[in-house]
Structure 1
Amino acid sequence: MNKKKLIVVENAIKEIARRDGVTVEYVKMQMKIAMMNGLRSADPRVKSFWDNISREGKIPTPDELIIHTSELLKKRKSHE
């Protein structure tokens, strides 16, 4: 995974934790819970979203989700 992107993601997670007065671990745990709910969806569109996330393991990490989502947003913005 791109180290520069990982640094940006880690900084974003740290900022969320700081803003909300919680730990980085707490933010990541909440993200994992939300992700597990999404991964269990029976909706074909939702399944397609999760299947298209580049990942090193069987389940994407919060970092991989953020990178994937930010890349999707960049693509959409460039097509506007």
Structure 2
Amino acid sequence: MNKKKLIVVENAIKEIAKRDGVTVEFVKMQMKIAMMNGVRSTDSKAKSFWDNISGKGKILTPEELIIHTSELVKQRKSQE
């Protein structure tokens, strides 16, 4: 994982925790819960999304998800 991107993501998570008055660990745990709900979804679009970004059976970390999602957004913006 790119260290520079990881630092940016970790700082973003810290800012969210600070803004919400919770710990970084709490923010990450909430993200993991949301991610697991997505992975376990029976919705075909959600299932396809998670299978495409992580491969079947692999669970991303919250940091990996943020980096991956930001790269997808960049990619889509460049195609406009």
TM-score, length of structure 1 as denominator length: 0.87
Q: Structure 1 stretch 59-68 or stretch 46-55: which is displaced more?
A: 46-55
Runs of 4+ in structure 1 off by over 6 angstroms are none
CA-to-partner distance for each residue in 1:3-46, whole Å, 9 max, x for gaps? 11111110110010111111100100100111110000122221
RMSD between superposed Cα atoms in Å: 1.7
Between Structure 1 and Structure 2, the one with more helix by share is 2
Unaligned residue ranges in structure 2 (runs of 5+):
none
Q: Alpha-carbon deviation of 1:54?
A: 4.7
SS at 1:22's partner residue?
coil
Distance 1:18 1:77 in 2: 30
TM-score, length of structure 2 as denominator length: 0.87
Unaligned residue ranges in structure 1 (runs of 5+):
none
Equivalenced residue count is: 79
SS at 1:48's partner residue?
helix
